Chain A
Amino acid sequence: MSRNKQAKRPKLANEGFTGRLRFFVGRALLNIRQNAFVNIVTIGTITLAILIISLFMLVFVNLEGVANDWSKRVQVTAYFEQELAPEELATLKSRVLAIPGTDRVTYVSKEEAFKRFRERLKGQELLLEGITTDVLPSSVEISLKSASRNSDAVAVYVDRLKKVPGVTEVQHGEEWVRRYTTFMNFLRLAGLLLGSFLVLAVIFIVSNTIKLTIYSRKEELEILSLVGATRFFIKAPFLIEGILQGASGAGLALIILTGCYYAFLHNAGNFLSFNPAAAGLAFLPPVYSVGLFVSGVLLGFIGSATSLKRFVSV
């Protein structure tokens, strides 16, 4: 006959959602303290990983910014044979504005054109002697919306512009637009390729580091399952640990990145031939920073979840 009965069930400490959450977070923090070294290794790896990705993004964002500035030079000019009356000009402007892709339309009268010409020939005004303003045609200069600043879109745009009555000639710096488009395509492709390789490498390194750190504690997982811990009970503290590692790693990376950015902004003038502050060097937009932080947290969480799947069989 058994005298053994389950000891009177004592008051449970961790009932309800908040009680359990508090217990698991407490357990995760204790684990971090007791396994300080592996945690430092994991957080360090995540920090470096996010730092590499964020540096790459920072460079890419700035390159795109510069390229975007250049693209403002993509401009289409339409010439007219004769000077337009104000009402004719208004109709024409509205017709041009109606073409998809038009951003801004500026009218350049014969006088304005002559004035610009004279400015360009500064110092050699003698050449202009005897020439009247009539010699240059009036025109409208059209800047395009950024989506239309590539060779295909410009070609389509020019075709439509040519059909507008009164327009005799259209110029759009074809060669320049072509080169710009090629460059932008190259930049995007290179960015995508490099970025993907970086992301893959980072995921590989971080997930393996987490796998190793969990492997080093597989005895703990085994003991927990031996004494009757449910899968959730075993995994929850490790997952919280993963989230905390990811958040600290990503936070640290963003702090280091911000520090490096401002240090560069203030000191680069000493060793570079330009002043980065004046050159409009931009920091990552907030959306990117938030995205990087979330990626860090996900990296920690998913890395832990997939590794645990291997080691927690029951």
Chain B
Amino acid sequence: MIQLHNVFLSYQKEVTALHGINLHVPRGEFVFLTGPSGAGKSTLLRLLYAALSPTRGQVVIDGQNVTRMTRSQIPYLRRSIGVVFQDFKLLPNRTVLENVAITLEVLGWSKQDINKKVFHILKQMGLEHKINATPLRLSGGEQQRVALARALVNDPKILLADEPTGNLDEENKDLILNIFRDANIRGTTVVVATHDRRLIEHSHKRVVTLEKGKIVEGPDVTQ
């Protein structure tokens, strides 16, 4: 599903963020990307949803070579990728419903279908009673669940998460992890960048450790 071949990325001539990354994530796998701050976790994720393109090497997502894509092809790639962030990135002046609906509006769904589908996913997240609230009235955990609902509402093939539990307490971390697991069980390939050791140890999934822009072989805890 995700393949990186000898990927290098330099921000400026001098600063190299990624050094010869080779990574293969098969369809339906759940992978944790970990490593200290500045190791290149976020950069790697940004390559996967084509917000950055590598200086050298190839990035292949779902059989498509992202490095060869034109600017106008990228949106169609992103429709099969859900992304969540530590800071949730919700629109504060829109309701929960409107925030989640954006994903489906982009696909051109009718309002009726959007309402049905959004209600359904919010129910899965235990947030159906907050459908008309604005994000500022929600707790951090609830906001992250709304962000997850937005990422998962169109059943993406890949879910990417950048420090998704960074701002959350233990209880909410478990809730979020369960949502990731559910999505993964339904077939979504999940890549989570985090330096939360507890989260990684709890989940018993494959771990890829990055250090200074390189993959260092870490303990592979795949069952």
The interface of chain A, by Cβ under 8 A from chain B, is 1-7, 10-15, 34-35, 219-220, 222-231, 233, 314
Contact = CB atoms under 8 A, between A and B. Distances in A.
B93 to A, nearest CB: 5
A231 B72 contact: yes
Given A2-B28, A15-B108, A227-B79, A222 B89 contact: yes
Contacts of A34: 93-94
Chain A interface, DSSP helix/strand/loop, else mixed:
loop
A220 to B, nearest CB: 6
A4 B157 contact: yes
Nearest to B71: A314
10 contacts: A4-B186, A7-B154, A14-B108, A219-B91, A223-B89, A226-B49, A227-B106, A229-B106, A230-B72, A231-B71
A4, A219, A224, A230, most chain B CB atoms within 10 A: A4
Contacts of B80: 6
B23 interface: no
A231 B53 CA distance: 18
Interface string B83-127: 100000101011000000011001111110100010000000000
Contacts of A222: 89
A220 B89 CA distance: 9
B75 A228 contact: yes
Interface of B: 27-28, 49-51, 71-72, 74-81, 83, 89, 91, 93-94, 102-103, 106-111, 113, 117, 150, 154-155, 157, 186-188
B188 A4 contact: yes
Given A2-B27, A5-B155, A225 B75 contact: yes
A7 B187 contact: no
A3 B94 CA distance: 32
A10 B109 contact: yes
B75, B83, B107, most chain A CB atoms within 10 A: B75
Contacts of B187: 1-4
Contacts of B49: 226
Given A4-B155, A5-B155, A227 B110 contact: no
B78 A7 contact: no
A226 B83 CA distance: 7
B91 to A, nearest CB: 6
Nearest to A2: B187
Given A1-B187, A226-B49, A227-B150, 12 more contacts: A2-B187, A3-B186, A4-B157, A4-B186, A7-B154, A13-B109, A219-B89, A219-B91, A224-B106, A227-B78, A228-B75, A314-B50
Contacts of A219: 89, 91
A226 B155 contact: no
Considering the complex of A and B, which 9 residue pairs feature the smallest CB-CB distances, nearest first?
Answer: A4-B187, A13-B110, A228-B79, A2-B187, A228-B78, A10-B113, A12-B108, A3-B187, A229-B106
A314 B80 CA distance: 16
Given A4-B187, A13-B108, A229 B75 contact: yes
Given A7-B155, A12-B108, A15-B108, A1 B79 contact: no
A12 B111 CA distance: 9
A149 to B, nearest CB: 59
A2 B28 CA distance: 6
B81 to A, nearest CB: 8
Nearest to A233: B106
B72 to A, nearest CB: 7
Contacts of B106: 224, 227-229, 233
B111 A13 contact: yes
B51, B94, B108, most chain A CB atoms within 10 A: B108
Contacts of B109: 10, 12-13
A11 B110 contact: yes
Contacts of B188: 4
Nearest to B78: A228
Contact of B74 (A12, A220, A314): A314
Nearest to A314: B74
A3 B185 CA distance: 8
Contacts of A223: 89, 91, 102
A35 B71 contact: no
B108 A226 contact: no
Nearest to A14: B108
B15 to A, nearest CB: 20
